Structure 1
Amino acid sequence: MNTHATLNLSHVAIREADLDLAATCGIKYWFLPSPHASKVDTGVVWLAAGACGTALHTHAEEEEYFSVEYGELEIFVDDRWIRLTPGQSLTVPPGTRHTLRNQSARPCLYFYAISPQYGSLI
């Protein structure tokens, strides 16, 4: 598990109406496909206040990177919750059980990358 500097997501266009929809659904994904990135999947996720992400899971071969741009994100990894705030990031190694949630009173916006490209969940 490594921490990294944050990524600048100012080039990602997210409409205000989409944020309203995300708030009512709890979670909203924007996938960021790139014809030049054949070995990584990337995206941006809006997680409403109090919402949970995916169920506890493991990627067999993929590492997953998270970078918080807005709000707070808690990631369960290595049998403990790690709290990330804007400017902080975390890489989850392959074979590591993890999940995430937003326990704060405001929404969270985070970037993720999975490499190599997403496979199956264990």
Structure 2
Amino acid sequence: MTTTTGLDAVRRTGRPLDEHGAPREGPVLELDPESEAAALLRDAPRPLASNPGAGTWGTLLSRPDAGHTDAPELLQWLGPDAGQPPVHRHPAPERFAVLRGRLTVVRDGEEHRLDPGDAVTVRPGVEHAFRNDTDGVVAFRAELPSMRTVLSLYTTWGLDHEGAFAADGGFGEPGPLHGLVLSEDVYDDTTMTAAPVALQRLLWATAGRVARALGYTGIDRSYLEDAFWRRHVEQPMLTPSD
């Protein structure tokens, strides 16, 4: 399913798939097979996942319950039109290390522009967000605070593939009610800071209960299953000889 473009042999992959395994209209990941990110993806133990509505891709390189690390590590790509996550904080540190492009990390209101080889650590409790301000793809490694943080990302990505965020069956990002339910489920590991926590708790106890009664779902471990992503995301064909 992976195609090449031009003489540079860039792999165009990572498209969303329909129920028959055929590529759907959606964002495409342009992957240089000679890059460090491609080598990491080739050797990754998990398939490529994506969030089409936000223009992002990722794969879990390691997880604590596998006995290899104290913190899960995610390899992630942001397309040029990728959405920015809301400002948030964690009770544990988070580290970003850039492999390709330029990543902007906003830490405690201060912008840090990271080029390949650069890294930054966000201390526990510090508000932060990150984004791609460029016209190209940004690839980076992120050491995340916990597997629950990973699960919240994979749940959001999986729900997007299932059309939960767009009325026409397309792709999008969580609306207010879905965002409210998801933010409550991940609160112990990730706190959104756009509104005071007291107000968020009030909303969880009122609008959040209504949202769940209407069928809005929170984080779901089934979205960590490899089979889900192989069904929904075009996987790149990378070999050591590429």
Q: TM-score range by the shorter chain?
A: 0.7 to 0.9
Conserved? CA contact 2:98–2:117, under 8 Å: yes
2:106 alignment partner in structure 1:
76
Greater share of residues in strand: 1
Percent of paired sites with the same residue: 22
Structure 2 residue aligned with 1:12? 41
1:120 aligned onto 2:149: no
Matched, 1:33 2:62: yes
Q: Distance in 1 between matches of 2:127 and 2:145?
A: 16
| 1:22, distance to aligned residue in structure 2 (A) | 7.0
Aligned to 1:4: none
- Residues in 1 aligned to 2:190 and 2:53: alpha-carbon distance in whole angstroms: 27
What is the CA-CA distance between 1:79 and the residue it aligns to?
Answer: 1.2
Cα distance, 1:49–1:58 mapped onto 2, change above 3 Å: same
Distance between the aligned counterparts of 1:46 and 1:79, measured in 2? 23
- Corresponding residue for 1:91? 121
Long gaps (5+) in structure 2:
1-35, 150-187, 192-242
Report which of the two has the higher share of helix.
Answer: 2
**Contact 2:101/2:138 (8 A) holds in 1:** yes
DSSP-derived class of the 1:82 partner? strand
| Structure 1: stretches of 5+ with no match in the other structure | 1-7
Shift of the alpha carbon at 1:104?
0.5
Which structure 2 residues correspond to residues 98-117 of structure 1 after superposition, within 5 A? 98-115=128-145
Q: Deviations over 1:18-61 (max 9, x none)?
A: 6xx7788511121123422352110111101142332100002x
CA distance in 1, matches of 2:69, 2:102: 30
CA RMSD, aligned part only?
2.5
